Amino acid sequence: MHTATLVLARSNVLVVLAIVAAAGCVNELNPHTREADADHNVAFVAQDDTLNSQLTTDAEGYRVTPVIDRRGEPFNRIGVRYDVAGTVVAEGRARHDDSWSDWSELTSTYVDDSVHNGLLDVEADSDGAQLRFKLDDGASLRFLVTETFVFAPAAADVDLEVDAEAASEDLQGLAADGLVVTRSQWGARSRSCGPTHQPNRLTIHHTDTPNNDSISMPARVRQIQNYHINTRGWCDVGYHFLIGQDARVYQGRVENVLGAHAAGANTDNVGISFIGTFDDAAPSSAMLDAAARIMKSMSRTYGIALNRDRVQGHRQVGTTDTSCPGDALYNGLSDLISRAQGSTGGGTDSTTTACSLVQVDTDTLNIRPDANTSRAPIGSLTLGQTATRLASVTGQTVNGTSRWYRVQRGSVVGYISGAYASCAN
Ligand SMILES: [Zn+2]
């Protein structure tokens, strides 16, 4: 059995559910394989004037959404993300067998200034939802996105605890040097997810968050990660990469780990999500170029062809009936693929990205399964030996450098510290 404990983390209002396993309760905390059937599934999304024109005001002064009709798509949880300044009371209700529940306050799972995540658990097989918000005088909702979905009880086994020591277990992504904003740079909660997979296709999404965002991209990515973990019950942010409105690429779940972005089609599939809502407006050219760089990098690393067969929009794959990644972005996919084909694949360190062979500068250098020294070596190299460089990644700092090389020597593929190896060509 598990005991759920509420913990207040740091000084903000992030509420973390820590699942404490009792003695004798081992090996069942493996939520990850369930994620093969997970993705986002938006029921309502709007922002600014378009949003506020759809809200009405009830007798108690709440701003009320239209009924979100989900007949044929039964659910037991409502997931909500919204932006609003000031204090707010957020409530929801659900329709079941043609009758409405009472209003209930949403469970708040994340607040960062004006950005909120919440959820409401409702009767199983509900088929309609409605939300209402009591706002400060003069305040208005700037953004609202709502999902309705079946939250599987088993997903409550997900270990939601923030575990600083798990950082060393974060698998390493293989994006070209300097191409991505790393998880530590955007302030990711450390997660250890699995299983690994072998990327062979790319799926393009949008995040259903505001365009012309008023908050920083790292803050928006943190909100998305928290929503995916605490409201959806996933192991980590569902996407592998997020394309910021600042034209930077944010590393989500590392790409060689199964994601949660295209239900029924997550295996071997790398999810790339543009931050924003691109039904009407297209992403900026700078965002498209940023996405093109990571696509080229993935193509080079994993041999993924850059064509319409291997690069698809979310609506084309899996089992979810979705408009993702929005008409404007979807209609630009061929242009995006052309940009990727012509991209350099990014990387700020042209010296090392051009290097295909590395040479050992010390007597013996261990090959590790990850870019750190915490796990047992899987092989070793001796002074002067070379190995094929597959990628450079950022890992544990060793002797003053955090650069590691992902290398192949014979049949062994692993990581060596850049502190004791250098480019040989
Ligand atoms: Zn999507």
Question: How close is the Cα of 415 to the center of ligand 1, in Å?
Answer: 32
According to DSSP, the β-strands at 128-135 and 63-64 are antiparallel
Say how far residue 103 (Cα) sits from the centre of its chain.
Answer: 31
Mean local confidence (pLDDT), 348-354: 43
Question: Both tokens of residue 385?
Answer: 């030996």
Average pLDDT of the chain is: 85
Question: How close is the Cα of 143 to the center of ligand 1, in Å?
Answer: 18
CB neighbour burial string for 63-99, b if at least 16 within 10 angstroms, e if fewer: bbbeebebeeeebbbbbbbbbbeeebebbbbbbbeee
Residues 143-191 pLDDT 10s: 999 999 999 754 444 444 434 334 334 566 778 778 899 898 999 998 8
Question: How close is the Cα of 57 to the center of ligand 1, in Å?
Answer: 32
Q: How many CB atoms lie within 10 A of CB 336?
A: 25
Question: Both tokens of residue 32?
Answer: 């990850």
Q: What angle do CA 313, 316, 322 make, to 5 degrees?
A: 85
Question: How close is the Cα of 413 to the center of ligand 1, in Å?
Answer: 32
Question: How close is the Cα of 267 to the center of ligand 1, in Å?
Answer: 15
Question: Both tokens of residue 88?
Answer: 């707010």
pLDDT at position 6 is 35
Question: How close is the Cα of 178 to the center of ligand 1, in Å?
Answer: 26
Residues 2-39 pLDDT 10s: 433 333 333 333 333 333 333 222 223 334 446 778 88
Question: How close is the Cα of 223 to the center of ligand 1, in Å?
Answer: 17
Question: How close is the Cα of 262 to the center of ligand 1, in Å?
Answer: 7
Question: How close is the Cα of 320 to the center of ligand 1, in Å?
Answer: 9
Pick the range with the lowest mean pLDDT from 102-106, 135-139, 191-195, 291-295: 191-195
Question: Both tokens of residue 353?
Answer: 């990205």
| Cβ neighbours of residue 411 closer than 8 Å, sequence gap 6 or more | none
Q: Indicate whether 328 pLDDT > 90.
A: yes
Question: How close is the Cα of 134 to the center of ligand 1, in Å?
Answer: 30
Question: How close is the Cα of 201 to the center of ligand 1, in Å?
Answer: 14
Question: How close is the Cα of 180 to the center of ligand 1, in Å?
Answer: 21
Question: Both tokens of residue 182?
Answer: 């790393």
Residues 117-140 pLDDT 10s: 999 999 999 999 999 999 999 999
pLDDT at position 34 is 64
Question: How close is the Cα of 222 to the center of ligand 1, in Å?
Answer: 18
DSSP string for 3-25: EEEEEE-SSS--EEEEEEEPTT-
pLDDT at position 56 is 97
Q: How many CB atoms lie within 10 A of CB 54?
A: 14
- Distance, in Å, from the CA atom of 162 to the CA atom of 37, rounded to the nearest integer, reads 24
User: What would you measure as the largest C-alpha separation in the chain, in angstroms?
Assistant: 79
Domains along the sequence of the chain with CATH: 44-157 (2.60.120), 164-342 (3.40.80.10), 350-423 (2.30.30.40)
Question: How close is the Cα of 269 to the center of ligand 1, in Å?
Answer: 12
Question: How close is the Cα of 299 to the center of ligand 1, in Å?
Answer: 20
Question: How close is the Cα of 239 to the center of ligand 1, in Å?
Answer: 9
Question: How close is the Cα of 208 to the center of ligand 1, in Å?
Answer: 9
pTM of this prediction?
A: 0.76
User: Of 337, 178, 352, which is closest to residue 248 (Cα–Cα)?
Assistant: 178
